């Protein structure tokens, strides 16, 4: 477990930071969380390659639990416009995180014997699709009414009707945010191949 501690701490930090930063826009179509959350896939894939699938799942589960605890604490910290981590955002993040990360672990494990870049790239690509769809639907869709009017008030800015990415049909703003977010995840997945290769070569006892 001691060897996994850096991965666990890094995962928890990414989840908590992303829960907060997803509430703040960067430009018109991105949130700040779009730049932090994809790092979770890099962490999972590194743990998987270096320590194996069981260790990767352990990091995911422990990171998930720590993230939940930190999100609950954040929900009690009141800022100008509400809690630092609204309950709806925390729940969406938790469900999307656990589902997508475990999918990433399974796909990576199936592809680990192939060329070095295939497992991290394909697992992150598919995991990010699931993560984006689950998170943005649960966190922002007006069709999800389980959280009550109070929770909806904190995210109703995302319901503004705008042209899709400024060009397409008129849809709720969160749809454009989701598409842009997924695009960033794919970009990060490609860039992350460089540190993935370097870190695996440095820390793994077997070829990366």
| % of the chain with per-residue pLDDT over 70 | 89
* pLDDT at 111 exceeding the cut of 70: yes
Q: pTM, whole model, 2 decimals? A: 0.85
Gap between the Cα atoms of 51 and 182, Å rounded: 28
Could you write out the DSSP letters of every residue in the chain?
-GGGHHHHHHHHHHHHHHHHHTTSEETTTEETHHHHTTHHHHHHHHHHHHH-HHHHHHHHHHHHHHHHHHHHHHHTSEETTEESS-HHHHHHHHHHHHHHHHHHHHHHHHHTTS-TTHHHHHHHHHHHHHHHHHHHHHHH-TT--TTHHHHHHHHGGGG-EEEGGGTSSEEEHHHHHHHHHHHHHHHHHHHTHHHHHHHHHHH-SS--
* pLDDT at 176 exceeding the cut of 50: yes
Q: What are phi and psi of 161, to 5 degrees?
A: -80, 120
- pLDDT, tens digit, 9 for 90 and up, residues 81-92: 667 677 788 888
Q: Report, as an integer, the average pLDDT of 169-173.
A: 91
- Residue 205 has a pLDDT of 54
């Amino acid at each position: 477990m001691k060897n996994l501690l850096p991965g666990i701490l890094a995962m928890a930090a990414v989840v908590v930071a992303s829960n907060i930063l997803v509430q703040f826009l960067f430009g018109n179509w991105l949130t700040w969380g779009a730049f932090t959350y994809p790092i979770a896939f890099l962490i999972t894939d590194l743990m998987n390659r270096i320590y194996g699938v069981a260790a990767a799942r352990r990091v995911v589960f422990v990171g998930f639990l720590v993230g939940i605890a930190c999100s609950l604490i954040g929900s009690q910290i009141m800022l100008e416009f509400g809690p630092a981590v609204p309950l709806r955002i925390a729940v969406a993040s938790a469900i999307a995180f656990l589902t997508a990360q475990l999918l990433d672990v399974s796909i990576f494990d199936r592809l680990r014997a192939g060329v070095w870049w295939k497992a991290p790239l394909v697992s992150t690509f598919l995991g990010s699709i699931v993560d984006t769809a689950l998170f943005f639907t649960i966190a922002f869709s007006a069709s999800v009414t389980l959280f009550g009017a109070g929770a909806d008030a904190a995210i109703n800015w995302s319901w503004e009707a705008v042209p899709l990415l400024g060009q397409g049909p008129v849809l709720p703003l969160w749809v454009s945010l989701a598409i842009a977010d997924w695009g960033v995840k794919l970009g990060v997945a490609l860039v992350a191949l460089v540190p993935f290769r370097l870190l695996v070569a440095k820390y793994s006892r077997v070829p990366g």
